[in-house]
Structure 1
Amino acid sequence: MPVPDYAKVAKEGKGSHLSSFVRWVQLKKYQYEVTFSLYMLTPTEKFIFNLILFLLVSMLVTAATLYLPNHVVVIYHRICYYISGEFAYKTSTNLSGEALTLAADGLRITADAVDSVVTPTLRVVESARETLKEL
């Protein structure tokens, strides 16, 4: 005596959670292979395609987790600046004496470095001008 279709479905539905999970994974694998036409490829071609897809997705996820939060903060600060006309974050105006000394030393060192580069360049420019005047 043949079993009606609904009885087969009910009998299959009474399996364990593990078997239903395995069936679900198999279904998703089948859908993935049919969607991207992987069923037509050789195992090596499938491996290469899956590797490239995995690398692209992993780079996208890495970039989103590492760089997106900082980028959102920068965009937020720009929006606040455009709306209110001032920065969203305030810098401390009450600097200690040591911090001011360090800042002054840093500015002095930077100015000396700029002078050491600019002065020889100005000398070359002046000598070139004098040479052109003589010609």
Structure 2
Amino acid sequence: MTKHQDVLAGGLFMLIGAATSLSALGYALGTMRRMGPGYFPLVLGLLLTGIGVALVVQAWRRGRVGTPIEWGSIRPLAFVLGGLAFFGLTLTELGFVLANILFIGVTSYAGREFRWHETLVLSLALTVMAALVFIVGLKLQIPLWPAILGL
């Protein structure tokens, strides 16, 4: 593949932004004062699409489109996307705490250096903070623990 990383990243941003915007149109948008459930995803999708367009245009203007992509850069992408898919597929079965700790553990392999003790501390701290924000603060209806535990 001979396309530049900026063009590929811009295309990915545009694809995710367009998909987010299109899916947001299925919900009520509301107004700026009374935002509906589709308002924020639509704005976020449009911003992502705009960032993608800016990346592609900037790469074309600088003439850097012919630079080959290093195949070593596929590994982080695979671990991050795999971790996200794992988190989404296991959230309801494992609960937020276990799914998030495992998600952070899987995605930490995307980096060149992996230290299990640092990853464990980081995953515990991030899980506590995320649980406080999403479950306690925003009151999202996400199971905290696996259903088998009955908590």
If the length of structure 2 is used for normalisation, what is the TM-score?
0.22
Instruction: Flag the structure with larger Rg.
Output: 1
Flag the structure with more relative contact order, 1 or 2, with Cα contacts below 8 A and sequence separation at least 6. 2
Which structure: greater helix fraction? 1
If the length of structure 1 is used for normalisation, what is the TM-score?
0.24
